[in-house]
C-alpha cells in the first residue's frame, strides 16, 4: 500500500527521522496559512500524488512570498499531473504539501527495500542524490552502493559506518546520519515496509541532515497488524472499479483493451491475458477470482466486468481445482440474471465437477459460447470482437 | 520414484481441523498419501476422521514418525508454523498459506538456512509424485505417472499445463508449485538440479511468470548443468509495469522482471520456449 509524502513524513516524525517543518493543505487558503506559519520564505509547494517524478513533471515549486503560495496552490489543486510514473493519463492533485525552504549544501540518495535475490533487507545509497535514480542505476550503476542487512540480526553499527563513509559524509554530521539510519531501519521493520526511499536526503548549509522527500510502500499482507495505517489509504488514488473489486477480495486490474476476462488463479489469469493478445485481441482487465472463490465472489467479478463500458466480449477461463466448476457456474448465472448480458461470452471450463458446471450453464438459458480448449477459446473470443 | 516425496513419505498436517485443512487432508488421503497426524493447538487427543490430532508438531513427529509437514494455518501464524515444523525435525515443509508478510518470510528463510529441511512455498499448490504421494491442493485426477518433471510459480496454471501433458500422453515424475511469493523456500534451480539427478525424469517443463529474476538464473543454470530437455513458459507478457498481478511476487519493477527478458534468457540458454499456453501440450509432445 502506497501512501503520500506528507503521510510518510508524519510517520517519520514519530520515529525521530528528521524532516523539515511542513503541513498539508486541501485548499489555497490552507496553503497560505501553513506557509505563513513556517517562519519565513521561501517555502516549497509540493503536489501530493502516489507517483515519483513530481519535480520533473512540474508538481514542485518554490514560493518566495505568500502571493506566490496562493498562485501555485491554485494552479496545483485540481490539475492533472503527468510524470514518468503516472502514465499519460496522469493523476489529479487533491492536496499539496507546504514545506519550509532549505539551503542545501549536498544531496544524497538513500533507500531501504527487501531484496528478493539475497533475501535480506538492502540499504541502497548514492552521492548522486536529488535526481532520477533509475537513470543513475542504468547509466552509472557504480555510483550506487548496497549494504545488506540480515533480518535476524538487524542493522549493525559497522553497516551504518559503511554507509556514512561511502557517502563521503562530513565527520560533524556523521552522528546524525547514524541516528537516521537506525530509526529508518526500525521504522521499516516495525511497520512492515517494502520500500522506504529518500531522494534527496540533504545536508543543509547549517550542517543538518534532513529527509527532504519520503516515498513509502507497505506490504499489503502485513496490514492486519498495522490498523493505524489503514486511515492513510487514499481511495482517490485508486481506480474505482479496482476499489470495488477489492471489497470482495478479487484481484482485479483495469487495463486498456476490450476483452473482459475472468479466471481463477493469478498465473492462469496472466496467461489468459497473453492468449487473448496472441489471438489478435487485447485484454480489458486482469481478474483473478482466486483458487477457492465463492458464488458471491464470482457474481461480483462478473458484475464489475459487465459494468465496464469498454468491454465488448468476455472470456471465462476456469480450471476447477479447489474452486468447483458448478460453484463457478452458479455465480455466473446469478450475476447474468441480475445484470443482464448483451455482449458475447465465451466459456472454457475444465477440472473438478466440469460436467455439472457445463450443465448449469446450458440449462440457464443464457447465450453463452462454450470452448473446448484454450486455443478454441482464444479464437472464438477474437472472432467476437474483431 | 520422482523427487522429494514418494510412497514412503509420512505426512502431518498443521491446521488439520480448519475448513481448508480438513478438506484437503481428506483429498490427500483419498489419493493415497500417508497422512499420519494432524496438529491443532488445544485439540490434542481428538481425531480428524481416522487421523490423530496433536497439540504440537514435535509430539506428532515423536509418536508417528512423520517426516513431512503440510501447512494450512492463516497467514498471521504462517511463519510460526514453519519454524515449529523445522524445529521438530521434519525433512520437508509444504506451505499452502497465501499472504504471509514478506518480512516474516525473510526471517524464516534466513533461519532455515541453519536447518536441514526443505521448504516448498508459501503461496503454492504443493507437490505431487503421481501414483505415490500428493502433499498439496492440486486435483489428483489430472495427473498421470510418467517421466516429465513440472516446476511452476503458479497453481491453476500448473494444473492447466499438467492436464495438457496428460492429454498428450505425457505422464509426470513429480510436479512442484514453488509458490507465487517474492521469497520462497525452494527455488527453480533447486528443483531443476533434483530433476536432473532423478532417473525417472526424462524432461522438464518450467512455468515462470513476471517479477524477480529467478527464471533468468534458472535459464543460466540449465545451460550449464542440465542434459535433459527443458520446455519453458512465462505468464504475464501483457502485464503492465508496476502492478502486482495477483501473486505478491508477480510485479515488474522498473525494467526488471519483464516477461520479455525471461523469454530472451530462455532462448539464449537453449530452453525450448512456448509462447502460447494453448500449445504447451503439443510442443512438449514434439520435444520429449
Domains of chain A, first to last:
21-100 (3.30.1490.20), 104-229 (3.30.470.20), 240-385 (3.40.50.261)
ipTM value, please give it: 0.94
Q: Given CB atoms, is A222 within the 8 Å cutoff of chain B?
A: yes
Minimum distance, in Å, between the CA of residue B236 and any CA atom of chain A: 5
Across-strand partners of A43?
Answer: A63, A100
Q: List the pLDDT tens digit at each of the 386 positions of chain A.
A: 999 999 999 999 999 999 999 999 999 999 999 999 999 999 999 999 998 889 889 999 999 999 999 999 999 999 999 988 887 888 999 999 999 999 999 999 999 999 999 999 999 999 999 888 888 888 888 999 999 999 999 999 999 999 999 999 999 999 999 999 999 999 999 999 999 999 999 999 999 999 999 999 999 999 999 999 999 999 999 999 999 999 999 999 999 999 999 999 999 999 999 999 999 999 999 999 987 777 888 889 999 999 999 999 999 999 987 778 888 888 888 888 887 888 999 999 998 888 999 999 999 888 889 998 999 999 999 999 98
Q: How many CB atoms lie within 10 A of CB B217?
A: 15
Mutate one of B277, B279, B280 to test the A interface: name it (highest A CB count within 10 A).
B277
Chain A residues within 8 A of B158 when measuring between CB atoms: 267
Minimum distance, in Å, between the CA of residue B34 and any CA atom of chain A: 21
Q: Given CB atoms, is A308 within the 8 Å cutoff of chain B?
A: no
Active site members of A = 109, 197
DSSP single-letter state for residue A68? H
Among A273, A280, A281, A232, smallest CA distance to A253 is for A273
Q: Given CB atoms, is A213 within the 8 Å cutoff of chain B?
A: no
Q: Given CB atoms, is A141 within the 8 Å cutoff of chain B?
A: no
What is the pTM (predicted TM-score) of this model? 0.94
A1, A50 contact by CB (below 8 A): no
Chain B residues within 8 A of A282 when measuring between CB atoms: 238
Among B47, B65, B258, B86, smallest CA distance to B185 is for B86
Chain A residues within 8 A of B213 when measuring between CB atoms: 116-117
How many A×B Cβ pairs under 8 Å? 171
Minimum distance, in Å, between the CA of residue A120 and any CA atom of chain B: 7
Chain A residues within 8 A of B76 when measuring between CB atoms: 224-225
The three three-digit cell numbers of residue A339, written as one number:
445484470
Amino acid at each position: 500500500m502506497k501512501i503520500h509524502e506528507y503521510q510518510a513524513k508524519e510517520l517519520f516524525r514519530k520515529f525521530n527521522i528528521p524532516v523539515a517543518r511542513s503541513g498539508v493543505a486541501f485548499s489555497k487558503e490552507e496553503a497560505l496559512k501553513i506557509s505563513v506559519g513556517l517562519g519565513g520564505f521561501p517555502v516549497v509547494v509540493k503536489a501530493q500524488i502516489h507517483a515519483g517524478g513530481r519535480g520533473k513533471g512540474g508538481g514542485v515549486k518554490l514560493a518566495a512570498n505568500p502571493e506566490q503560495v496562493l498562485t501555485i496552490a491554485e494552479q496545483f489543486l485540481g490539475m492533472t499531473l503527468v510524470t514518468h510514473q503516472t502514465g499519460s493519463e496522469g493523476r489529479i492533485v487533491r492536496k499539496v504539501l507546504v514545506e519550509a525552504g532549505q539551503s542545501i549544501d549536498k544531496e544524497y540518495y538513500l533507500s531501504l527495500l527487501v531484496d528478493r535475490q539475497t533475501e535480506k533487507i538492502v540499504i541502497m545509497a548514492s552521492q548522486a542524490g536529488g535526481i532520477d535514480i533509475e537513470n543513475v542505476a542504468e547509466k552509472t550503476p557504480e555510483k550506487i552502493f548496497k549494504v545488506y542487512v540480515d533480518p535476524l540480526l538487524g542493522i549493525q553499527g559497522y553497516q551504518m559506518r559503511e554507509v556514512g563513509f561511502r557517502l563521503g559524509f562530513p565527520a560533524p554530521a556523521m552522528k546524525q546520519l547514524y541516528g537516521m539510519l537506525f530509526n529508518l531501519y526500525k521504522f521499516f521493520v516495525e511497520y512492515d515496509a517494502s520500500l522506504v526511499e529518500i531522494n534527496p536526503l540533504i545536508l543543509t548549509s547549517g550542517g543538518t541532515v534532513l529527509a527532504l522527500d519520503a516515498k513509502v510502500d507497505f506490504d499489503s499482507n502485513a496490514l492486519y497488524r498495522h490498523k493505524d495505517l489503514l486511515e492513510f489509504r487514499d481511495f482517490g488514488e485508486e481506480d474505482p472499479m479496482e476499489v470495488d473489486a477489492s471489497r470482495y477480495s478479487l484481484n482485479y486490474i483495469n487495463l486498456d483493451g476490450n476483452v473482459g476476462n475472468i479466471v481463477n488463479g493469478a498465473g492462469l489469469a496472466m496467461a489468459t491475458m497473453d492468449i487473448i493478445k496472441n489471438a489478435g485481441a487485447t485484454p480489458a482487465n486482469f481478474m483473478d477470482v482466486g483458487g477457492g472463490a465463492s458464488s458471491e465472489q464470482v457474481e461480483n467479478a462478473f458484475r464489475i466486468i459487465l459494468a465496464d463500458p469498454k468491454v465488448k466480449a468476455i472470456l471465462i477461463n476456469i480450471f476447477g481445482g479447489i474452486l468447483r466448476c458448478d460453484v463457478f457456474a452458479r455465480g455466473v448465472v446469478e450475476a447474468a440474471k441480475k445484470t443482464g448480458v448483451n455482449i458475447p461470452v465465451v466459456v472454457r471450463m475444465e477440472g473438478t465437477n466440469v460436467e455439472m458446471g457445463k450443465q448449469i450453464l446450458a440449462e440457464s438459458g443464457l447465450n453463452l459460447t462454450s470452448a473446448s480448449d484454450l486455443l478454441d477459446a482464444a479464437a472464438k473470443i477474437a472472432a467476437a470482437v474483431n | 520414484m520422482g523427487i522429494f516425496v514418494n510412497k514412503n513419505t509420512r505426512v502431518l498436517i498443521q491446521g488439520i481441523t480448519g475448513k481448508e485443512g480438513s478438506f484437503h487432508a481428506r483429498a490427500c488421503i483419498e489419493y493415497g498419501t500417508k497422512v499420519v497426524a494432524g496438529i491443532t493447538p488445544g485439540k490434542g487427543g481428538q481425531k480428524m476422521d481416522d487421523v490423530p490430532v496433536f497439540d504440537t508438531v514435535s509430539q506428532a513427529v515423536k509418536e508417528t514418525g512423520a517426516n513431512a509437514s503440510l501447512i494450512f494455518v492463516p497467514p498471521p501464524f504462517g511463519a510460526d508454523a514453519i519454524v515449529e515444523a523445522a524445529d521438530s525435525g521434519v525433512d520437508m515443509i509444504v506451505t499452502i498459506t497465501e499472504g504471509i508478510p514478506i518480512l516474516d518470510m525473510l526471517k524464516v528463510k534466513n533461519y532455515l538456512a541453519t536447518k536441514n529441511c526443505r521448504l516448498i512455498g508459501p503461496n503454492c499448490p504443493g507437490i505431487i509424485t503421481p501414483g505415490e504421494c500428493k502433499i498439496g491442493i492440486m486435483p489428483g485426477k489430472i495427473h498421470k505417472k510418467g517421466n516429465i518433471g513440472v516446476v511452476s510459480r503458479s497453481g491453476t496454471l500448473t494444473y492447466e499445463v499438467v492436464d495438457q501433458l496428460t492429454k498428450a500422453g505425457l505422464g509426470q515424475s513429480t510436479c512442484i508449485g514453488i509458490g507465487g511469493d517474492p521469497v520462497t523456500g525452494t527455488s527453480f534451480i533447486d528443483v531443476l538440479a533434483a530433476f536432473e539427478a532423478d532417473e525417472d525424469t526424462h524432461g522438464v517443463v518450467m512455468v515462470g511468470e513476471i517479477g524477480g529474476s529467478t527464471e533468468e538464473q534458472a535459464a543460466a543454470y540449465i545451460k550449464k548443468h542440465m542434459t535433459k530437455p527443458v520446455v519453458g513458459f512465462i505468464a504475464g507478457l501483457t502485464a503492465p509495469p508496476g502492478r502486482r498481478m495477483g501473486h505478491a511476487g508477480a510485479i515488474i519493477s522498473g525494467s526488471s522482471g519483464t516477461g520479455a527478458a525471461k523469454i530472451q534468457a530462455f532462448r539464449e540458454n537453449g530452453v525450448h520456449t512456448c509462447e502460447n499456453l494453448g500449445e504447451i501440450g503439443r510442443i512438449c509432445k514434439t520435444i520429449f
